[in-house]
Structure 1
Amino acid sequence: MDRQVSPVLPASPTSGITVSEVLRLPVMRGTTVLAGERGLDRLVATVNVMEVPDLLPWVRPRELLLTTGYPLRAHEGKDLAAWIADLDDHGLSGVAIKLARYVDELPEAALREADRRGFPVLVVPFDLGFDDVITQVLTVVINRRADTLARAEQVLQDLVGVVIAGGDLDQVCQGVVRHLARTSLVTTMDGRVLAAAGPVPERVANLPGFDPTGRFVVETEVPGVSAEFDGVHRLVARVTGARADLGRLILFREDAFTDDDNHVVGQATTAAALAITKQQAVAAVEGKYRADFLRDALLGRAGDAERVASHAGELGWDLRRPLAVLVAEAEEVPSDDPVLRTLPERFRAAWERVASTDDEAAAVAGFNQEVVVLLGVPAHDDPSAVAERVRQMAEQVHGRGGGGRRVFVTGISRTITDLADLPRAYSEARKAAQVGRRLHGDRAVTHFDALGVFRLLSQVEDRAELASFISETLGPLAAEDSEEMEDLRTTLTALLDHNLNVASTARALHFHYNSLRYRISKLERLLGPFTTDPRLRFAIMLALQARQLDHG
């Protein structure tokens, strides 16, 4: 998709009129364009007369400079092309000169530079009154400024009125479409679409700036920049509240966004921030109520199964079916950073969005850095099928799916059919998350049934005793900083995994048969006759598992 990008200045009611519009004013009759015709669409916000040799310290962007040519005398014999370049670099809209009084003509090099840069150089009639030019241009600019402010005020009153009257973010987006754009969307800082209005494609991912999951790529799409995609113009604006970004307002329409639009966009983002803040306040109260109820249910304090199921139904959750409990456990965040303090809520919201897409009656609640999901599962699904389903959900929450880009592990309980087993399932899911993190890292998705012997090992509270067992059983193989021992542990693990079958182990490790035989002899010298002693072999297998649990 072709993309053309142009900067849009910060929202301001000082846009002005174009140089070509200035030329159409009655006072400018008889003015000719000497060079830089390509820049006639430059905006003029103010007009000034400068007759001092060193005028650059006093010029301002979007200023049309009027001169009799007197300052150019100081440049006599110097490069006037550089003078034109300096004016353009300082952001001037153009220069209008009275020739013949002090300067008869401008050198060809200066005119070529003006043409190259698209910097308008105008020649005005000798009898033109500069004060008349200033009066007529500023009259138009001030009137337009007043119109822009009036339009912005109208938009603000309309959109804020929508929020005050109880309207939600979708209705704010509809108001933005009435005033400003063909399509309007508001996203979170994770890029999740919160509201939309206007013709929005069935797949939001088809819009420019959205990834295949339908998330707006906030981290790369720059706010305040107008971009054109195959004839469709897009503008991205920050939605801010208090000291933090709340999200993004994204607008699409057929014609280009102007600087006059920018001030109106600022009012639209104010209304969107108000709606988001109100929505967050309501969600916080409702979320706390839901979380308190679900926590009580998970801890067995919410009453009997019928009462829990009935109350859950009032909250939109269906607990009268086979369920698996999911626990997504994220890393801690500093509590003194106002931006990071929003991460737990964004994490919960991301899981709620993904879970509701998979199962619209799923129960979701957030407990600080932990999110719990009660997911409906077919009673006949085996643990691997449930784990794969949850793994896909976790991938959506990770990274591209939002969730505040948080690193987290996910634990899954066994399927339950009786709500009386809810506390046990919650405990299983938490245990699966904790052990999964130690075994497989910070993005693990682990089903309780996949823990095997690790379930028992994780229950050993005396870690010193467990470490002693590992050391006594494995001897030198327990060493952490020895490459040789690490190599022997790998060989031993493969041998045990292949049930002491030397031929298949050699093939798996790509060893020669005799080389493996030599290693087995060395292992038996270190550990004892584990190939013939089943009790010793079991102890070694258990010690290897315990070591893996301790070292991750």
Structure 2
Amino acid sequence: MILTVKDLFNLNRNLSEIKVLAGFNGLDRQITNVQVMEAPDGVYWVKEGELLISTGFGFRNTPEEISEALKILIENKAAGLVIKIGRFIKKIPQRALDIAEKSNFPLLEFPVKLGYRDITHPIMEKLMNQENYEFKMLDQLRSSLLQTCYNKNNIEDTLAVISCYTNNSIVIFDSYFNILKYNISEKNREDLSIIFKISNYIKMDYKKLINNSSSIKINDNFYNFIIFPLINADEIIGYLCTFSLHEINKLDKLVLNQSVPYVIISLLSKKKNRQDSLLIRNDFFKNLILGNYVSKSIIKSGIDYFNLEENLNRMIMIVYIENSTCKIDYQAYKNKLLTYINNNPMPNSYEEIIFNNNEGIFLLNLEKDLDISNIQANYSKWSDDFLKSFKFLYKRISILIGFGDIYDNLEKVNKSYKEAILSIKLGPKIMKDKSFIYHYNDFKLYHILFEFRNHPLLENIFEGSAKKLIDYDKSNNAQLIKTLALFYQNNSNVQKTAKDLFIHRNTLYSRLKKISLLTAIDPTSSEGSLLLQLSLKLMDIYELYKNK
């Protein structure tokens, strides 16, 4: 049967709505076949007499390329181009209209409400039988999907191509039943509300999908669903679902079934790209936190590239595993740590997690109006709960948690990291309560003393006070250092200190007098108290770093 472009308008009611944009004098061109195209370079394979149909998806970013496509179609003696206006492209460029008009080449617009099948089916019905039509459509689908794979291979393009070959709505879910992408059919915009319920159907039939490794059909009295599991290496990585208010026909099922491998490829590609991006981002934060970047321009480039907010309040938290004789499966430990955090959110969100040897480093985002005491209390409570849970799982290892100071510039997070490390190193030696949770705010004075520990003035203070008391205790089996430390810990309260030491008040007075005689410093005066407390902290520093 001979079919011309002009005959399209009389095939059915839908096709009568097609508009002629240009090339009216070429409507007598004969149609020998129908081709569907979404990749712009598909025009090169169009043969003489073929009518090309496009939603405009391939031209969505470069509508000016329609002009070049028309030149090739005209050269190949195609029957015409039918293109959808409004969804992916808003209007046909004037240059394209002029080219079509000058060459008497039919350039047609089909209504937004129509899909590919609304046009291709009545045409192919005239040119061939139903079986050949289905074969033709599926062959074109495979070609379009292959072209998508050769190009960007992203899930958005893959879904757009599939949507062109079915009039039904399509949704793609990940393996956790979260919606990745969806396309709602033009005829059923009310379908939007149902996509949020589909994951429940998948969950209910999850075992059936695993066991059968094939599609399942569901009817909920309103909608008809078909769900295809997306399986890679015996693992479900997602689900492809189509649904409609009407019965889903054989060709729609075939379209979805043929599309499954290409959706899997797109998901794996997306996952790899995301993993690569996350690795690059993670690597940037790791180098930033560990202080490996010397140039500020490199840091600024990273901030711009990852679109990070530079001036936020941030703090480093380190979950640290002390050296242990028992063997630890660090990957299993990391997984348990991340699972715990997901199930037990921190007081504030974390921006990044870095694993560096036996350190789990968290970059925390904090609110602008800071109440440092509240922040410290909240994180101490969270850390305490965390340690209780993990000590139950890892009885033979010791986990410490350290916090750095808060900074309002991303460039300074390395300082917070160093402070968190210092807190973990100092905390167990200095704090006697075995809390395993250490805040840098409690060790700022120690940090200053550590930085200047080799200064002659500090060495003289230590030598003339705490060192003399240490030597006396060793020679006389005395407890002057313990007495002095507890005296200041109790805010110079004589009665409480004597009670804690299980001695009489007069004995305590005698010890304080002895300290004064040995050091020539009055431990009860304000100036003497300052010097002696300073010497006790220097003692902790020197003992910790073995410098004395």
- Relative to the length of structure 2, the TM-score reads 0.41
Greater relative contact order (Cα < 8 A, sep 6+): 1
Q: Which one has a bigger Cα radius of gyration?
A: 2
- Relative to the length of structure 1, the TM-score reads 0.41
